């Protein structure tokens, strides 16, 4: 294994770390009054470089580096590109919207870069301890991001809540890792699959897996570990909620796929029921919870719980199609959700005056552009054809049906019917005539950076909805990591 190739395998992480450090150091010496925008642009450049480095990894032969600590393959590249894309759009949105809204905007840019490092590590690590480190890096930066608005009453509350519960979750995760190590003598995901059958105490390994499921379940806000989500999303600055609800989750889901399909496929009898229950609960709790919300951010928080549920449906499918569907879903959810939060963060403005569904009344009249964008993303979230949201659900549910999970698929589709109701409530509100009694809050002009961010997400959502072949192809290439013999796309086989 030559040194350059090993280095290439962690290059994206290195680039982002350097970016974060540089941004933070410059932030410290910049005069207080000066604009932090150039720092944002620096971070964007760093992310673009990391994106390029990730794409470059696709040309390498899949393999491990640094004593098997990390593994790059088509699967990790898929999630690398996805996470870099999300971070890029988030930075574009934050360039203007966070100015003046939070103290220390420069810190924010550094945090985003560091957080991304953690997330990238999670998707590429083949060692449970490295996953833990990645998880902590990404979590700590999101905890801080949630509390960036120190002056807003709900900001610190959200951050504390997030931090306390998140620490419990990572503790569970770490205990789980310890139990697995105790049972098998290894924390390497790849060796686990072969060592598990020889273990004297496989039940400890399974308890360990259950604990890891709890930890990850918390991170992706899957029921019954979802309670923190609405409060945290409500308190955090909207630009960061778009990030929080997509990138760390994509990373966590990627890791979950790796451990379930890479290390524990032989024990699927034990974990599939758990996933089944989590999926069914998340969809139902999320959607029913969202129905009752008036606050738009809370509503979208509940909806993100539901989306985690849809994604978990694909996990239960136990097939290459299921893995590909889960990856695709993560991508399509990211495109539309980052987009919708970009709109919401801009409409809400610095002081977040427009928060409830009722406040959105007449938005489409005041700003046809923002109204149209909001409508588009909501339509995608509902899952109307020709948008990414549709194909995301489509692949998930067809993978489930293929594997005989008819009831889970029906439950899922019934849930998307319920979901349509609350998304539409927001949509119709935005498209209702503005009332004369209610004074209109002014909406700031759409800045070029925001416009670029919105266009990126719209185009991504459309590409995923009209010509999904390319992305699905990459997702399938990733799935082959777990199903080497499944180059035939429809093969349904569980490794034993």
Partner 1 sequence: MNDSILTWITLLPAAGAVVVALLPRRGQVIQWFTLLVMLATLGLALHLPAHFVPGQGGFQFEVNRAWIASPNIHYHLGVDGISVWLVVLTAFLGPLAVFASWKAIATRTKEFYFLLLLQWTAMIGVFVSLDLFLYYGFWELSLVPMAIAIAMFGRDRGPQAALKFFVYTFLPSALFLVAILWLYAKTGSFDFVVLQQALASGNLGATPQALTWVALAFLVAFAVKVPVFPLHGWLGDVISEAPTGMAMVVAGKLGLYSILRFNLGLFPAQAKQFAPWMIALAVIGLLYGALVALVQKDLKRLAAYSTMSGLSFCTLGIFSFAIAGIDGSIYQILSHEISGSALLVLLGILYERFGTYDIASYGGLAAKMPRYATLFVVTSLSLIGWPILNGFVGEFLVLSSSYGVHAGWGAAATIGVILSAAYMLWMVQRVFYGPTSSLVAGKGSPDLLFREAIALWPVAVLMFIMGVASPAWIRLIDPTVTALVGTIERAPSPSSFPRTVAAQTIPGGEKR
Of the two residues 21 and 369, which places its CB atom closer to partner 1 in the complex?
369
DSSP state of 34: S
Bridge partners, residue 72, by sequence: 63
- For helices 268-291 and 202-219, the axis angle rounded to 10 degrees is 20
- CA-CA-CA-CA torsion sign (77, 326, 70, 225): positive
**Using CB under 8 A as the criterion, which residues of the chain lie in contact with partner 1 when the complex forms?**
364-365, 368, 375, 379, 382, 384-386, 390, 394, 397-398, 401-402, 406, 409-410, 413-414, 416-417, 420-421, 424-425, 427-429, 431-433, 467-469, 472, 476, 489
Of the two residues 225 and 390, which places its CB atom closer to partner 1 in the complex?
390
Yes or no: say if 80 and 121 are a contact pair by the CB < 8 Å rule.
Answer: no
In this structure, how many other beta carbons lie within 10 angstroms of the beta carbon of residue 201?
Answer: 12
Min dist CB 49 to partner 1, Å, is 33
Min dist CB 475 to partner 1, Å, is 10
Q: Helix/strand/coil (H, E, C) string of 315-347?
A: HHCCCHHHHHHHHHHHHHHHHHHHHHHHHHHHH
Find, among 70, 54, 43, the residue nearest to 127 by Cα.
70
Of the two residues 259 and 324, which places its CB atom closer to partner 1 in the complex?
324
Min dist CB 370 to partner 1, Å, is 13
Of the two residues 240 and 387, which places its CB atom closer to partner 1 in the complex?
387
Q: Kindly give the pairing relationship between strand 63-65 and strand 70-72.
A: antiparallel
Min dist CB 83 to partner 1, Å, is 24
Of the two residues 249 and 307, which places its CB atom closer to partner 1 in the complex?
307
Give, in degrees to the nearest 5, the angle at Cα 345 between 340 and 349: 145
Of the two residues 58 and 401, which places its CB atom closer to partner 1 in the complex?
401
Of the two residues 249 and 393, which places its CB atom closer to partner 1 in the complex?
393
Of the two residues 108 and 376, which places its CB atom closer to partner 1 in the complex?
376
Min dist CB 153 to partner 1, Å, is 32
Of the two residues 141 and 293, which places its CB atom closer to partner 1 in the complex?
293
Min dist CB 336 to partner 1, Å, is 15
Min dist CB 470 to partner 1, Å, is 10
Min dist CB 48 to partner 1, Å, is 30
**Cα distance between residue 241 and residue 307, in whole Å:** 15
| CA distances to 212, 215, 221, 340, 461 from 167, in Å | 13, 9, 14, 29, 34
Min dist CB 313 to partner 1, Å, is 13
Question: Residue 273, exposed/middle/buried by CB under 10 A (0-12, 13-18, 19+)?
Answer: exposed
**Cα distance between residue 427 and residue 357, in whole Å:** 9
Yes or no: say if 223 and 213 are a contact pair by the CB < 8 Å rule.
Answer: no
């Amino acid at each position: 294994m030559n040194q350059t190739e090993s280095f290439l395998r962690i290059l994206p992480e290195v680039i982002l770390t350097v970016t974060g450090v540089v941004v933070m150091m410059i932030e410290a010496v910049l005069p207080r009054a000066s604009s932090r925008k150039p720092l944002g642009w620096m971070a964007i450049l760093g992310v673009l470089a990391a994106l390029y480095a990730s794409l470059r990894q696709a040309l390498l032969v899949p393999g491990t580096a640094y004593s098997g600590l990390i593994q790059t393959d088509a699967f990790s590249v898929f999630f690398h590109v996805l996470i870099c894309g999300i971070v890029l759009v988030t930075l574009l949105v934050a360039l203007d919207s966070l100015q003046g809204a939070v103290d220390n905007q420069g810190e924010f840019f550094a945090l985003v870069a560091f957080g991304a490092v953690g997330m990238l590590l999670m998707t590429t690590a083949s060692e449970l301890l490295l996953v833990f480190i990645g998880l902590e890096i990404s979590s700590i930066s999101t905890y801080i991001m949630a509390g960036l608005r120190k002056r807003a009453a709900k900001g610190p509350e959200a951050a504390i809540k997030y931090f306390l519960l998140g620490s419990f979750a990572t503790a569970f995760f770490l205990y789980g890792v310890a139990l697995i190590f105790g049972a098998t003598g290894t924390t390497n995901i790849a060796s686990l699959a072969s060592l598990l059958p020889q273990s004297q105490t496989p039940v400890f390994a399974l308890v360990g897996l259950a604990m890891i499921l709890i930890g990850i379940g918390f991170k992706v806000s899957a029921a019954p570990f979802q309670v923190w989500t609405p409060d945290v999303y409500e308190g955090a600055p909207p630009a960061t909620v778009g990030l929080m609800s997509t990138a760390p989750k994509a990373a966590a889901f990627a890791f979950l796929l790796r451990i379930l399909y890479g290390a524990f496929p032989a024990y699927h009898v034990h974990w599939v029921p758990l996933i089944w229950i989590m999926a069914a609960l998340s969809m139902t709790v999320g959607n029913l919870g969202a129905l009752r919300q008036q606050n738009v951010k809370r509503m979208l928080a509940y909806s993100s719980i539901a989306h985690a549920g849809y994604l978990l449906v694909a996990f239960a499918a136990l097939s290459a199609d299921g893995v590909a569907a889960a990856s695709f879903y993560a991508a399509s959810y990211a495109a539309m959700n980052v987009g919708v939060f970009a709109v919401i963060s801009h409409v809400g403005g610095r002081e977040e005056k427009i928060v409830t569904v009722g406040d959105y009344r007449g938005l489409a009249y005041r700003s046809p552009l923002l109204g149209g964008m909001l409508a588009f993303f909501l339509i995608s979230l509902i899952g109307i054809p020709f948008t990414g949201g549709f194909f995301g659900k489509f692949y998930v549910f067809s993978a489930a049906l293929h594997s005989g999970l008819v009831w889970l698929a029906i439950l899922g589709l019934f849930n998307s019917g319920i979901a349509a109701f609350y998304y539409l409530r927001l949509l119709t509100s935005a498209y209702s005539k503005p009332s004369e009694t209610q004074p209109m809050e002014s909406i700031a002009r759409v800045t070029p950076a925001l416009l670029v961010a919105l266009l990126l997400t719209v185009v991504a959502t459309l590409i995923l909805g009209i010509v999904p072949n390319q992305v699905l192809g990459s997702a399938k290439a990733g799935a082959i990591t777990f199903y080497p013999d499944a180059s035939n796309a429809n093969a349904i086989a569980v490794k034993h």
